[in-house]
Copies of this chain bind each other. A is one copy, B any other.
Amino acid sequence: MTTETITTEESTLTINGERLWQSLMELAKIGAYDDAATGLVGINRQSLTDEDREGRRLVMSWMEEAGLDVTVDQMGNIFGRREGTEPSAAPVMAGSHIDTVATAGAFDGCLGVLGALELVRSLNDAGLQTRRPLVIAAWTEEEGVRFGTDMLGSAVAAGRLSLDYAYDLVDEAGLRFGDELERIGFMGERPVRLDAPHAYVEAHIEQGPVLQQKGLAVGVVTGVQAISWQKVTLHGRAAHAGTTPTELRVDAGLAAAQVIVQVRAMVDSGLYGQLRATVGHVRTSPGLPSVVPDLAEITVDLRNPDDALMAKAEADLEAFLLELPHKQPGLRVETKRMAKTTAVPFSEEIQSAIATAAQDLGHETMRLMSGAGHDAQEMAAIAPTAMIFVRGQYDGISHNPREYSTPEDCAAGINVLAKAILQLCV
């Protein structure tokens, strides 16, 4: 095999879309199950399970076959390094995760890992060597469904969370993260704190409907929006629907409905920029047709790419909640913070590299915010970072066996990843 050093001018490389697709489908067999709700085959490969171990082993074997130097850190994060002509230069890193939720499809996370692998395979095929080293990362427990904290592996690697915090997390069965990591044989020796790479680029399915609606295969991700999750519990007074005059009621369900209507009104007002608001969970107690609810429990999920506008939305929602007992004396409002993250804007420079790569490859593209969390937001703390979104079908449904991106869109996204990475490796 002749190995040439790649230059900026030569940095176009067409990846093998068919091989990428085959790898995605091969990995998807691990953890496959028959999903009753959809009638499809779903994937359940949650972090640090036997299925996850099997998936990790397969991906590591592919990395080794591709000639990568494979190491595992103290969080079980897997790295595959392809040496550059200047080994001391900070590497360019590309990656994502292969753990899944309980009812997953084949693309969430896996596209980013196997896409980076396909880039390496294509470089090997072409006999090309980059100046900077290239590192593929497969992060542990991105989903957070088993141990309750998402982006766990990348968060510890990038320094936001401690190793001890991660090790002591327990799953619903009471099993400790550290013990399970040991059990599956992925307690690696590589120190978990990562030296800052030159850049980090993550390809991922969009998990939303925007690219499909706009008719675009790929998008440039501008950042991850701030997230605020609260549980709001409204305490009223149970009362008989027939015998209790309206003016004597303290209706917790009515108060909950007023909150739901209000958060949408806040979104529609335009006062909070690109605010998104969702009340996904609603429950009333006792839940009987003829009893005024004494309790209503809702979750309020707010998202905003702008931290200041998010803070304004949260303050105004709080003021609205404080007003509710004035509308219904006797009502008690309780709020509990479930999650809160600030907005993470991605590097303009890396966004430009992706946008230029897409343009050079003839893809019309757009910039869009990520609504969901990703490992890239952790890496953004230590390195210039951005993401490439790949269009999903069926309104971008994800965390569901119906999750699907076409072979063509996957190849398009990874060709953009390849071109951007090679540009950054020069």
Q: Which residues of A contact B (CB under 8 A)?
A: 206-210, 213, 225, 227, 229, 237-246, 248, 251, 253-254, 256-258, 260-261, 264, 267-268, 276-284, 286-293, 296, 299, 301, 303, 338, 370-373, 395-399
Contacts and interface: CB of A to CB of B under 8 A. Distances in A.
Contacts of A292: 278, 280
Given A257-B260, A260-B253, A261-B254, A241 B289 contact: no
19 contacts: A207-B240, A208-B240, A209-B243, A209-B244, A209-B245, A225-B242, A241-B276, A241-B301, A241-B303, A243-B370, A244-B276, A244-B396, A251-B264, A279-B293, A280-B289, A282-B282, A282-B287, A283-B287, A289-B301
A234 to B, nearest CB: 12
B372 A240 contact: yes
What 10 pairs between A and B have smallest CB-CB spacing? Answer: A208-B243, A242-B371, A243-B371, A257-B260, A241-B278, A289-B299, A257-B257, A241-B301, A282-B284, A242-B372
B258 A371 contact: no
A202 to B, nearest CB: 15
A279 B253 contact: yes
A98 B291 CA distance: 22
Given A253-B260, A260-B253, A301-B290, A239 B209 contact: yes
Nearest to A231: B289
Nearest to A288: B280
Contact of A290 (B253, B258, B278): B278
Contacts of A240: 207-208, 371-372, 396, 398-399
Given A246-B267, A289-B338, A395-B239, A280 B284 contact: yes
Given A248-B213, A301-B290, A227 B242 contact: yes
Given A206-B243, A260-B257, A371-B244, A283 B280 contact: no
Given A206-B243, A244-B396, A279-B284, 15 more contacts: A227-B242, A240-B372, A241-B276, A246-B267, A251-B278, A254-B261, A254-B264, A254-B279, A256-B257, A257-B260, A278-B291, A280-B288, A280-B291, A282-B287, A282-B296
Nearest to A208: B243
A292 B225 CA distance: 17
A297 to B, nearest CB: 10
Q: In the complex this chain forms, how many copies of it are found?
A: 2
Nearest to A275: B246
Nearest to A258: B261
Contacts of A207: 240, 243
B282 A241 contact: no
B288 A281 contact: yes
A289 B243 contact: no
B371 A276 contact: no
A105 to B, nearest CB: 13
A173 to B, nearest CB: 21
Contacts of A280: 241, 253, 284, 286-293
Residue of A240, A248, A370 ringed by the most chain B CB atoms within 10 A: A240
Nearest to A293: B280
Contacts of A264: 246, 251, 254
B210 A245 contact: yes
Contacts of A253: 260, 279-280, 282
Nearest to A267: B246
B241 A371 contact: yes
Nearest to A281: B287
Contacts of A370: 242-243
A256 B282 contact: yes
Contacts of A281: 284, 287-289
Contacts of A268: 246
A284 B373 CA distance: 24
A182 to B, nearest CB: 31
Contact of A283 (B246, B276, B282): B282
Nearest to A246: B267
